[in-house]
Structure 1
């Protein structure tokens, strides 16, 4: 049984004026009340707005294709054993064309077989960044050759913002949006 949510959504009737302003801004952009990581972040409304803006920029305006972004986000979710992030982004990855076999391997914590060259490059670059906290010259040069210097900035930023969201979700114990798709790694 999952532990109780520490920072559940705040009922809109209980918002402070700052929270109401942040929630209204969120609703204008997303059409819904703050959810997922944004629900706990509402305890710091200005941070929530800034984090949401960067996440939105990287998710919807990146130099990476949808399948590559979602593959990277799934790797971050796996690295943090983050159930909510996985439940949302594994579904998005599949819609974007990432195969079920690749997602199953990521969920199991192993390098997938059968990836395209672009998927393998992103998988390896994200895995290296998560494991070593940096890129080798070889990886950096491969990323720049394929995605330019913009990619060399956006990929670690994508990993960073989704790591931040995963940490917030894990601290808050936000439940998955559906069935939990990841086995928990030992803590």
Structure 2
């Protein structure tokens, strides 16, 4: 995305050696590996230090990412928004290709990466962006934004969009604290666009 990104700081909570895992950690790894994720990646590496917390969190995320009633492209839009809001390179790099596969137009992905409201894509893209952006920036949702989102998506999808933002915010904060590096070869977030 840009050639002038700062170097990555050292990972504070890197993967644990198999021999160092407790029985509870082994059970947590086995459980996540048996699910749709197929293994321990990204935020679950630092979260494994608390295996019960990791398991409970990843089950919430499993629902939101793989079984939510919110359309896949809108789930990925929320995730990319949170990655940008928290300057979280792993979340962005991991979900960038997933967002494109889910049908988010490249122009939407690039706008969100720069911290700009997307103008491309179907109308629901702008509505979901406005919902999570207003919630992140003002800590509230105005009546017009809420009304437009519910009219287009329904209450259940609005609740799941908000819950997805909250869940991925938890993961972003965890990875920022741990300095989790992005996946090898994945794109990093560009500098924010200044208005």
Distance, in Å, in 1 between the alignment partners of 2:36 and 2:123 is 34
Residue of 165, 168, 190 corresponding to 1:183: 190
Residues 16-61 of structure 1, C-alpha deviation per residue, up to 9 Å, x if partnerless? 1111111111121146441110000000000000110001101111
Q: Which residue of 2 aligns with 1:148?
A: 154
TM-superposed CA distance for 1:162, in Å, is 0.3
TM-superposed CA distance for 1:146, in Å, is 2.1
Q: Which residue of 2 aligns with 1:119?
A: 125
2:10 pairs with 1:4: yes
Superposition pairs of residues 62-81 of structure 1, within 5 angstroms? 62-81=68-87
Query: Would the alpha carbon gap of residues 83 and 18 (structure 1) be closer, same or farther in structure 2, given more than 3 Å must change?
Result: same
Aligned pairs, how many? Answer: 185
Residue of 6, 27, 51 corresponding to 2:33: 27
Do the aligned partners of 1:9 and 1:35 also contact (CA within 8 Å) in 2?
A: no
Question: Which deviates more from structure 2 when the two are superposed, residues 94-103 or residues 70-79?
Answer: 94-103
TM-superposed CA distance for 1:154, in Å, is 1.0
Residues 112-146 of structure 1, C-alpha deviation per residue, up to 9 Å, x if partnerless? 22232111111111111111112111222222222
Where has structure 1 moved over 4 Å in runs of 4 or more? none
Q: What is the TM-score normalised by the length of structure 1?
A: 0.93
Residues 68-119 of structure 1, C-alpha deviation per residue, up to 9 Å, x if partnerless? 1111110010000100000011111111111211111111111122232111
**Aligned residues: CA RMSD:** 1.5
- Unaligned residue ranges in structure 1 (runs of 5+): none
Distance, in Å, in 2 between the alignment partners of 1:22 and 1:152 is 31
Q: Which residue of 2 aligns with 1:42?
A: 48
- Unaligned residue ranges in structure 2 (runs of 5+): 1-6
Q: Which residue of 1 aligns with 2:64?
A: 58
Question: Which deviates more from structure 2 when the two are superposed, residues 156-165 or residues 25-34?
Answer: 25-34
Question: Which deviates more from structure 2 when the two are superposed, residues 10-19 or residues 45-54?
Answer: 10-19
What's the secondary structure of 2:35's corresponding residue? helix
